Every structure is written in structure tokens, then in C-alpha cells.
Amino acid sequence: MNVFPLFAHLAGRRVLVVGGGPVAERKVGLLLQARAHVVLGAPATTPGLTQLARQNKIQLVDDVFHDAWLDGVWLVIAATDDRPLNRRIADLCEQRRIFINVVDDAVLSSVQVPAIVDRSPITIAISSAGKAPMLARRLRERIETLCDHSLGPLAALAGKYRKAIQKHVPGLRQRREFYDWLADGPVGAAIRARRPEQAESMLEHALLRPRPEGGGLVMLVGAGPGDPGLLTLNALRALNRADVILHDRLVSPEILSLARRDALLVPVGKSPGEDHDATQDHIHQTLLAQARAGRCVVRLKGGDPMIFGRGGEELEFLHRHGVRYEVVPGITAALACAAYAGVPLTHRRHAQSVRFVTAHNQCDSDSTDWHALAQESQTLAFYMGVGRLQALAGNLIAHGRAASTPFALVENGTRADQRVLTGTLGELPGLARLHRFKAPSLLLLGQTTALADTLHWFGARVDGRADTSHTALGEIPIEA
């Protein structure tokens, strides 16, 4: 680290601010929030600083800087536009071992004033060590959106009952679970609803109730399609809460890196050719064993767990065995891949509906309503279909879908190596083989997919209509 992060108690302590302009006024405001005894020295001041002095909120010295101003001072803020003066003040502070911040001058400063997210008593400070304050400000703006303003009252309530919680909730793991309940459960909800008395009453009641031993929790969490930026806030919180994470094969390493450092990561993804039912049974038994051991278990699935992810089967299993569970939805592949390929799934002129279809074991199924899938004015999103493109295209055309229907095939959607192949349905199998598209790929079919040619904005695009060397439908098999 270039700087050592530190929070200072300045209440009642003397802090000198040199300068009387708008910058000095902003610094004075921060110091007053920390209840510092502010001494402001300057021959001229803004109206706001003058008003603070009249209200006896600051001590004003209407003069040019004198060395004696440093007597008894804990911290100095130099906020003048006179660099020689700032340097002189900095040298004197160095001699007296007084911390100083020279505004916009990291070289002369012995301390930095960070960008602040204030959720008192929670305070988040961001510093770039004076190298890039604008980036620190931008980061603060993002963190502001993540931190609900109820965080401060919640922290104050937890602090008020800290000793009682330590007494009634023994054990670090149980206490962590209690604090998670405090933030995510009815107490936190009451605080967000501006009902502090109700929140405190519920907390007191929870401390008096005997807490059952054991009883883990399974959280079924959608990891989204791959881009870690598409992870929901609730999913991120679940990853930081989990003791054990059972994750699918296609969950990206970038998302797994966001988990708690001491969480146990267990890969349980299914691979082509293996017995998927046996693997699913193993997942069920692992979830049950970990939950019965009292652990918080995250079942992390790519996309959304309730769309072609066997999420329903896992919830049914957990329900039968009396295991507590929660569901955190994720952005499913069809939504994300379409957005990153520049394809609107619906359009008032081209598609009034959208269907999500799994191509796995469906192309040869008698139960598939191919006539309905072949209808116009709809967008089709086929999951797990890259190995079935030959049969899929053939069935759609045979049931009335025009061979000229445009498609967009999205490989590794939302990831750095995303590719989008566009063309027509009749050419789909040959083009996919020619350009070596492999799983994970999602097929989008319908008139809206033609917009990918002009609206595409992310990753590489392959225009199949520019190819003349590919073979027609039926001539080239597609690899799984």
C-alpha cells in the first residue's frame, strides 16, 4: 500500500484549516460532521464560512498564516491556491510531526482525505493515494448505489445490542448467521420501512427465543451467463455468506473469485456423455448432507436456476427432506446473449412473443409441437442446441418455417471470447460447422435476429451471408 488506511477520532480536537475559499468550506463541512474543533485562518472567507463563524460553529482567525496557528493542533488542512505558502505550512507540520493534507497536492501531504460513503456509524473511505482522485470519486458514486441508507440505522441497532447478542448467541458461526438474519430478515425490512421501534422489538424477541441447533440453509443462486458484472447484488451477498458452494461447469472463474475466501468450492457440473440423472442424484445427496451439517450452502448455476437448470427438481428434493431454502434468480442466457448480440427478443413489428426452448433431446421427441415453433411473429431461443442444429433446422423447415428466416448463434455469450454468427435457417448447420461454433452456444431464431447485423456491439461477429464456401442444409453434421 502507498498509504495506510486510518480512521481518526477528531471530536473536540483542534483542527486547523488554512484558506477561506469554496474548497476550504467543503473541508470544514466534513470536519464538522466529525465534531472537530475547527479553527479557520484566512484574510477573507466565503459567505458560508462567515456564517459558520457567526454561529460559533468554527473559530475564525481573520489574518494571514502565522506559525503559532499550529500550536495544539492535531491535523492541518491547507486549502489555499498559494503553493509556496502550502509548502511552508507542510514543512512546519513535518518538523512538528503534525499530519497535514494539502488539497490537490499529494507530494506535500502526509495524509489523504478520501472519497467518503457515509452511512454512519458505517463509513467507507476510498483513496487513490492522491494519484487519481477522480477515479476514487467515481468508485464512491458506484458504492453509494450499493449501500442502502438503512445500513446506518441497522449498524446502530446492532451496536446497541452487541453485548446481548454475544450473550444469547454463542459461537462464531451462529452469531454470523444471526447477523445475516438481522440484515436480511424482518428487522432489516422494518428499518428500511422507517419503523425503528418495530425493528428493535423484533430483535429483542429474537434474542429471547431459544434458537434451534443445526439446520443449514441451501440457497439456489443464478450466476448469470458468464459476465461477472451481470451477477445480482443478492447473488453476490449469497456468495459472501456461503460455507459451501456447489457450482456448475460453466460458472466462470471470475464469478467464483467473488466468493468468501474460506468457502469450500465443489464442482458438480455435468459433462456430455455422462449419466446426468446419477450426477443429479449425487448433487441432491451432497446438498442434503451439507445442510444437515448446519452449513450455508449455495447451489450456483449458470444463468437462472429455474430455466432449464433443474432448479425445480432440487427444490422438490429439499422440500421433501425438510431443508430450508431460498432462491436467488439470475439473468438467463437468452436475455443476456440476445442483449449482448444486439438482438431484441420482441419487437412490435417483427415479434410479439418469445419462446425459451431446450433443444436437448427435443429434436427427436414426438411431444415437441414443431408446428407451433414454426409460426411467424415470434422469436425462438434454443438452449443446449449446438449439437442438434441439423435436426432442429430440418424439423422447423419441414413444419413451415421459411428457410430464409434469419438466425443469430451466440457462442460464449457475454464473455470476452463471445462470437455471434448470423445467417439464415437453411444455412445454419453448414455455417456453424464452417466457423466451428461449439458449446456453450445459444440459438436465436426469428426476424428480430436480423437486427444483430446493425445493432451488434459486443465481441466478434461472423456474417454467414458473406460466405460462399459453406454447404447447404443436410450436408455437414454438427459436433456436440
Annotated active-site residue in 270, 453, 463, 467: 270
Q: Which one-letter DSSP state was computed for residue 472?
A: P
Taking the CA atoms of the chain, what radius of gyration do you get in angstroms?
31
How is residue 150 written as a grid cell?
438503512
Q: Would residue 454 be called left, alpha or beta, if left means φ above 0 and alpha means ψ between -120 and 50 degrees?
A: alpha
Q: What string of DSSP letters covers 191-245?
A: HHTT-HHHHHHHHHHHHHSPPPS---EEEEEE-BSS-GGG--HHHHHHHHH-SEE
Over 308-360, what HEC string results?
CCCHHHHHHHHHHCCCEEEEECCCCHHHHHHHHHCCCCCECCCECEEEEEECC
The answer to whether 160 is a known catalytic residue is no
Alpha-carbon gap, residue 230 to 245, rounded angstroms: 19
Nearest CA to 192 among 148, 224, 230?
Answer: 148
Residues 222 and 331 sit within 8 Å (Cβ to Cβ)? yes
Residues 6+ apart with CB under 8 A from 97: none
Distance CA 406, CA 427 (A): 10
> From the centroid of its chain, how far is CA 94?
42
Instruction: Give me the catalytic one of 227, 243, 248, 304.
Output: 248
* Three-class secondary structure of residue 461 per DSSP: strand
Beta bridge partners of 406: 424
In the residue annotation, 148 being an active-site residue is answered as: no
Q: Are 314 and 283 in contact (CB under 8 A)?
A: yes
- Is 416 in contact with 228 (CB distance < 8 Å)? no
**Alpha-carbon dihedral sign for residues 51, 57, 59, 64:** negative
Let me know if 260 is exposed, middle or buried by CB neighbors in 10 A (0-12, 13-18, 19+): middle
* Residues belonging to the active site: 248, 270
